[in-house]
């Protein structure tokens, strides 16, 4: 997956977890939590969905890398390069 595809994939997951949020104006370089009402359970959901859909594991210690769309893509790119 390319960097852009990963962002789309994460956005797709967020749209399921937070169906009421308007994601069209989301800034990819700003923390998700600053733009959306996401709590720690939502981040757990994102991790679970990533595992389910792409078989990628995000260890507890790396949750910080999921802060913004950009940082998600940078972090996940090497893990998803063959998918």
Taking the complex as a whole, how short is the minimal distance between the CB of residue 25 and another protein, in angstroms? 22
In whole angstroms, what is the distance from residue 23 CA to residue 18 CA? 9
Q: Is 33 within 8 Å of 67 (Cβ atoms)? A: yes
Question: CB neighbours (10 Å) of residue 3?
Answer: 13
| 14-43 binders of another protein (CB under 8 A) | 17, 39-41, 43
CB neighbour burial string for 60-70, b if at least 16 within 10 angstroms, e if fewer: eeeeeebbbbe
Residue 55 engages another protein in binding (rule: CB under 8 A): yes
Stretch that binds another protein, among 5-13, 28-36, 47-55, 73-81 (CB under 8 A): 47-55
Residue 62 engages another protein in binding (rule: CB under 8 A): no
Residue whose token pair is 């595809």: 5
Residue 63 engages another protein in binding (rule: CB under 8 A): yes
Q: Can you give the binding site for another protein, defined by CB under 8 A?
A: 17, 39-41, 43-45, 47-48, 51-52, 55, 57, 59-61, 63
């Amino acid at each position: 997956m390319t960097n852009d595809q990963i962002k789309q994939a994460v956005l797709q997951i967020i749209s399921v977890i937070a169906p009421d949020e308007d994601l069209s104006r989301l800034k990819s370089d700003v923390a998700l939590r600053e733009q959306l009402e996401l709590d720690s359970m939502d981040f757990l959901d994102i991790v679970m969905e990533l595992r389910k859909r792409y078989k990628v594991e995000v260890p507890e210690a790396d949750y910080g890398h999921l802060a913004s769309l950009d940082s998600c893509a940078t972090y996940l790119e090497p893990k998803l390069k063959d998918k």
